[in-house]
Structure 1
Amino acid sequence: MRRTFFIGVCSMVFGSATHAQYVQPERNDTVYLMPKANFAGAVAKKMITEGNSTIKGIAFTKPPAMQRHIGGKNKIVAGHVKIALFPLTPYFEEYLRLKKEQNPKKLKFAFMSSDAYKCRLEVITNSSGEFTFFNLKPGSYYIETVVDWSQTRYYDKYVGSGSSNYGTTDYYSKQSYNDHHSDYLKKEVEIKTEGEVVDIKLN
């Protein structure tokens, strides 16, 4: 009887958990930095409607000097990646200022509205990292992309020791691992005159 009563009590306690009156929501401590300026959609769209100027260039990143091992690459081209171009209206200028205040450790990030994000042009680079934006109007623009890359690095792993008449010798085996990175590339570009071709380096 005592055993049957214990099972019944457990069933009552744990069974009631599926009918709880309140479920504690997950915390969201993210600090959202949003531009306060009104997004002038008509003005932004007009800047990226058809013109006769061009922005072209090459996108690449450079590993820090301390990560350039013997035989490593000093420049990594952004091959087959998406490049985005935004018109630099007051709204986007404020957004870029807010990005400088970002602090991932404090969950502090800058965001733009969905309507503003839609107001952009995109192109894909070739295998050499080259890209071109055609049919632009004079004005200021913001160009950005993210380049993912990895680098093979090496270290000596201790595998044991051996003793002889001359003392103790430590033995090591060379091991490799991939060091992964994501580099954010950005640049502000100005087209001054109709028909101008602006050549840039996005790095």
Structure 2
Amino acid sequence: MQFEKCFLALAIAFTAATPSFSQYKEPEKKEKVEAFYPEVTFDSLQAKRMLAKGNAVIKGVAYTKPKTKLGYSAPLAPRIYANKMTVVLFPVTPYVEEWYNLRKDKENIRKRRFVYLSKDAYRHRLEAITNSDGEFTFPDMKPGKYFLQGLLDYTYKGTYNAYTGTGYNNYGGQTDYYQQKQYSKDFQDRIEEFVEVKEDGEIVKVNLH
């Protein structure tokens, strides 16, 4: 009887220590994501002409503001300037216009999340890098309409009162105790703006937020 108990204990220990192998493993289900693209044909020649060198300059400042609990920018909050952020400039062709309108489609929120530019359309762009004050410049621009976009990453820090316990006195009263703690939360804001150069040689200033 003692031998049987020892054998059973060894068998259980061996089973626990030995990894289990299966011939078949059911894969996790992945959400099917349908990509949406503009139906207008992208005109690469038009985009190249619009991005040809001119004599105008687009100068801007990129920034955002902390969000409220409802997800809106706090109007009185200080600006958070885009530091070393890439600003992308697209010529506003009919293809880009339709892409932008698809993204703003309020009838289908899920659809708005998965609207893409074609590889050819994305290739026809200019890029600028901001300084620590969020400033950026696109020189040598021609008259025309352009779309600016950037993804601004920032961390919002704050404090809150954390409940730590309750104390009781000899008269039946109680006091709740709190300790102030710090927290931080990471955000990424998509900031974008349309800008138009009306005359060759002018300097156009824009706030990208």
Using the size of structure 2 for normalisation, the TM-score is: 0.78
Q: Matches of residues 79-90 of structure 1 in structure 2 within 5 Å?
A: 79-90=83-94
2:158 pairs with 1:164: no
Higher strand share: 1
Q: Which secondary structure state, in structure 2, belongs to the residue aligned with residue 101 of structure 1?
A: coil
Aligned structure 1 segments of 4 or more residues deviating by more than 6 angstroms = none
TM-aligned CA deviation for residue 53 of structure 1 = 0.9
Aligned length: 182
Residues 36, 111 of structure 2: 8 Å contact kept: no
Query: Tell me, which stretches of 5 or more residues in structure 1 are unaligned?
Result: 1-13
Tell me which residue corresponds to 1:122: 127
User: Superposition RMSD on alpha carbons, in Å?
Assistant: 2.5
Deviations 1:154-181 (A, max 9, x none): 1111111111134111111111110222
In structure 2, relative to structure 1, the CA distance for the partners of 1:25 and 1:161 (3 Å cut) is: closer
Which residue of structure 2 lines up, in the alignment, with residue 42 of structure 1? Answer: 45
- Which residue is equivalent to 1:10? none
Shift in alpha-carbon separation, 1:65–1:83, aligned structure 2, 3 A: same
Cα offset, 1:15, TM superposition: 5.7
Q: CA 1:41–1:177 in 2, change beyond 3 Å: closer, same or farther?
A: same
Report if the CA contact (8 A) 2:63-2:134 is conserved.
yes
In the alignment, what sits opposite 1:109?
Answer: 114
Q: Give SS of 1:92's match.
A: helix
Letter in 2 for 1:152: K
Is the Cα contact below 8 Å between 1:154 and 1:177 reproduced in 2? yes
Distance 2:23 2:79 in 1: 61
Match of 2:124, as an amino acid? C
Q: Which position in structure 2 is the counterpart of 1:17?
A: 24
Displacement of 1:108: 4.5
Please give the alpha-carbon distance, in whole angstroms, between the structure 2 residues aligned to 1:134 and 1:140.
Answer: 15
Alignment counterpart, residue 91 of structure 1, candidates 89, 95, 99: 95
Give the residue type in structure 1 aligned to 2:37: M
Change (3 A) 1:28 1:129: same
Whole-angstrom distance in 1 between the partners of 2:110 and 2:98: 22
With over 3 angstroms needed to count, the CA separation of the structure-2 counterparts of 1:29 and 1:101, relative to structure 1, is farther
In the superposition, relative to structure 1, how do residues 106 and 118 fare at CA in structure 2: closer, same or farther (>3 Å)?
A: closer
Normalising to structure 1: TM-score of the pair? 0.81
Percent sequence identity over matched residues? Answer: 39
Q: After the TM superposition, which of the residue ranges 86-95 and 44-53 deviates more from structure 2?
A: 44-53
Partner of 2:203: 197
Give the unaligned 5+ runs of structure 2.
Answer: 1-20
